[in-house]
Amino acid sequence: MTGLGGRRPPLSRQTIVVTGASSGIGLATARMAAARGAAVVLAARSAEVLAGLRAEIEAAGGRALDVPADVGSRAEVQRIADRAVETFGGFDTWVNVAGLTVYGPLAAISDDDHERLIRTNFWGTVFGSLVAADHFRARGQGGLINVGSVASDLAFPFQGLYAASKHAVKGFTDTLRMELLQEGLPVAVTLVKPTSIDTPLPQRARNYMDREPKLPPPVYAPEEVAHAILHAAVHPQRDIFVGGGGKVLVAAKEFAPGAYDYLAPAITAFQRRREPPHDPEGALHAPIGAGRVRGTHPGYVMRTSAYTRASLHPAALAGLAATGLALGAASILGGGRRSRR
């Protein structure tokens, strides 16, 4: 079905482009895709990290191509696609992962930092999506996976531009899906919305705070996002929340948006460690600190999300919901009987 798509080729028969492949979710996705037999096109600003990752994949018997590029430039994004065509004859799935953040109150952040964040997070996704869509038109099919965030639906004080960029990614992705549907192209478009994920994102952030940043709980492992992305590459879904905690927050905010606004002090506190900043400049303007999947989150990190695993199999999720309703009804009825007695 256009827009969502039916079952697509197995990963072992796919070539997958991954932007932001030098760190965090992108790095976890690239390694997992290669381990499952896909040919992987690795794109990021960190040339040395990409070269090392390509050598690692090839040493394990996989197929990889490294293309150093800044996704904030359409010409460089086009070069990623062109190199994929030259090397592998094209690509089947394009995954837009590249993203950064800035911690601090909106009024304190420089215009240059605001512009750089939007150029990477939003325009990088726009350029990647449009270049991929052009390729899929010529190829006759394809899969596009954009990594948004729970911040696509929620605002977070002291990460205002990050939330704005992810809201924009959601609006763009939904619109592109509708236009591809109207065009009649068999292109599957998925938006993945992770909750807090233990990647180096806070350590690589531009930081205006007087404390080292951290992620608000609950926090999940990056491999859980990679698993969801690669599931969508074969079994497309419209939207995937990674982390049941994020889904609960979004539902609560929809139910009581005014009440959510008053959580600002707590959300801000959850994003601050006790120690002073380690590297306030971060990787916003220069590709530093890449090469690691995991961050340094000081609290508990959940390895998997039962909600996400169930949501990847809608029948199982429906069964889980039905079980929850049945248990809830039994509890209510049981309480009523006890009251009458």
Contact 48, 76 (CB under 8 A): no
Query: In this structure, what DSSP letter does residue 23 have?
Result: S
Alpha-carbon gap, residue 112 to 110, rounded angstroms? 5
Mean pLDDT of the chain: 92
What pLDDT is stored for residue 313 in this prediction? 86
pLDDT tens digits for 290-331? 999 999 999 999 999 999 999 998 665 555 545 544 544 444
In tens, the pLDDT along 67-97 reads: 999 999 999 999 999 999 999 999 999 999 9
Global model pTM greater than 0.85: yes
User: pLDDT digits over 160-173, tens only?
Assistant: 999 999 999 999 99
Q: Which two tokens stand for residue 259?
A: 């009440």
CATH number of the CATH domain containing 282: 3.40.50.720
- Residue 315 has a pLDDT of 62
State the Cα angle at 175 between 173 and 181, rounded to 5°.
Answer: 105
**Distance set, CA 12 to CA 40, 133, 134, 234, 277 (Å):** 11, 22, 24, 10, 43
Establish if 118 belongs to a structural domain. Answer: yes
pLDDT over 60 (residue 6): no
DSSP string for residues in 184-243: T--EEEEEEEE-EE-SSTTTTSEE-SSS-B-PPSSEE-HHHHHHHHHHHHHS--SEEEES
Q: State the pLDDT at residue 340.
A: 43
How many domains does the structure of the chain reveal? 1
Is 17 within the bounds of a domain?
Answer: yes
What does the block give as tokens for 186? 């068999």
Whether 6 maps to a domain, the answer reads no
**82/43 Cα distance (integer angstroms):** 12
Helix 222-234 and helix 24-35: axis angle, to 10°? Answer: 50
What is the mean predicted confidence (pLDDT) over 192-219? 97
Residues with catalytic function: 162
SS3 39: strand
The answer to whether residue 316 sits within a structural domain is no
Examine the pLDDT at 243 and tell me if it is beyond 60.
yes
State the alpha helices, DSSP H only, in 283-313: 306-311
Q: Pick the closest to residue 310 from 220, 249, 224 (CA basis).
A: 224
Q: Is residue 334 part of a domain?
A: no
Span 48-65, average pLDDT: 98
25-34 in b/e form (b: 16+ CB < 10 A) is: bbbbbbbbbb
Instruction: List pLDDT tens digits, range 171-204.
Output: 999 999 999 999 999 999 999 999 999 999 999 9
Quick one: DSSP state of residue 277?
P
**Residue 341 resides in a domain:** no
Q: Which domain holds residue 206?
A: 11-304
> Is residue 209 pLDDT above 50, yes or no?
yes
Residue 213 has pLDDT above 90, yes or no: yes
Sign of the alpha-carbon dihedral angle for 231, 135, 18, 302: negative
**pLDDT > 70 fraction of the chain, expressed in percent and rounded:** 90
Q: Is the per-residue pLDDT at 332 higher than 90?
A: no
CA dihedral 230, 173, 147, 206 (to 10 degrees): 160
Q: What per-residue confidence (pLDDT) applies to 269? A: 95
Does a structural domain hold residue 52?
Answer: yes
Q: Is residue 318 part of a domain?
A: no
Q: What percent of the chain has pLDDT over 90?
A: 87
